[in-house]
Structure 1
Amino acid sequence: MNRTDRARRVIAAPPTTVYAALLDRASLEAWLPPDGMRGRVEWWEPRPGGGFRMVLTYLDPAGSPGKTSDATDVVEVEFADLLRPERVVQRAVFEAEDPSYAGTMTLTWHLAAAGAGTEVTVTAVDVPPGIDQAVHESGLASSLANLAAHVEAAG
């Protein structure tokens, strides 16, 4: 597993605002699930070595079978590194019986000032082979769009 997927977006909010949305439970539930899904955080420890468990539910599971069940993806995430307001590194493991979803995927959320906003780049390395690359990159882009809408509306 050495595949890397990426998405990038400029968000009209300062890095400190975007960083805060990466580490706020209610914010994460609002913006992280890509289009067609909703998310619920079951536990939350926003500190290095802490993490969270999120249950992502497909709004219409037909044609989009989940990794954990037909309608869900469950992911355990560890916060590997938190560098305010520049970077959040997460290690994600999906609950799945299918070995093509096994392994630890590392996601790095890099924030860089871009004029009055923030360029956010999310890089996922060691993506499990069971995750379709085009679908994953589309999902990452959708999450970034949701993040932009979330922080820009609050601003």
Structure 2
Amino acid sequence: MGRTDRASRTVAASPAAVYRALTDRDAVESWLPPDGMRGRVEHWDPRPGGGFRMELTYLDPTGAPGKSGDATDVVEVGFAELVPDERVVHRAEFVADDPSFAGTMTMTWQLTPTAAGTQVTVTADDVPPGIDQQDHEVGIASSLAHLAAAVEG
């Protein structure tokens, strides 16, 4: 069993709006990449057992070598669970030769209604040891900020 990283944010939007943003290709492509990266979804199959492949490119690769290439991280994501307005569970595997990035990381996006909108909690289980914990938690928080900007609009 690997490490668990978490981040949470209250989003001023309904769980239904957040869920739509978690399950829409164009939305995911725009909000999921953390600060300093851009993303491109290469295929999309939003159903349990389906998934997507995303290529993340560093805007400034200096000092940030990619896991999959000089300036890229490629991740294969399977949809393990899709519960409308409640939860999305991803099983993510990085395409990398370095064994410290191997394995399947499970990312659970839990949506909890609140008076202010939706509490979105991301729990990443079995995080590969090659991913720095502080960097990962900052990255998740950045993605949550982009998600909020996309749905609060």
Q: TM bucket by the smaller chain? A: over 0.9
Identity %: 71
Q: Displacement, 1:2?
A: 1.6
Q: Corresponding residue for 2:94?
A: 94
Distance 2:152 2:39 in 1: 20
> Does the CA-based 8 Å contact 2:10-2:118 persist in structure 1?
yes
Q: Displacement, 1:116?
A: 3.9
Q: Please list every run of at least 4 consecutive aligned residues from structure 1 whose deviation after the TM superposition is greater than 4 angstroms.
A: none
1:56-75 → structure 2 map (5 Å cutoff)? 56-75=56-75
Q: Corresponding residue for 1:113?
A: 113
* TM-score, with length taken from structure 2: 0.99
SS of match in other structure, 1:126 = strand
Q: Corresponding residue for 1:76?
A: 76
**Code of the aligned partner of 1:29:** E
Distance 2:2 2:96 in 1: 19
Q: Corresponding residue for 1:48?
A: 48
Q: Corresponding residue for 1:20?
A: 20
**Code of the aligned partner of 1:122:** V
Distance 1:110 1:20 in 2: 13
**Code of the aligned partner of 1:52:** F
**Code of the aligned partner of 1:138:** V
SS of match in other structure, 1:149 = helix
Structure 1 regions of 5+ residues with no counterpart? Answer: none
Cα RMSD for the two superposed structures: 0.6
Distance 2:70 2:138 in 1: 20
Q: Displacement, 1:104?
A: 0.2
1:145 aligns with 2:152: no
Structure 2 regions of 5+ residues with no counterpart? Answer: none
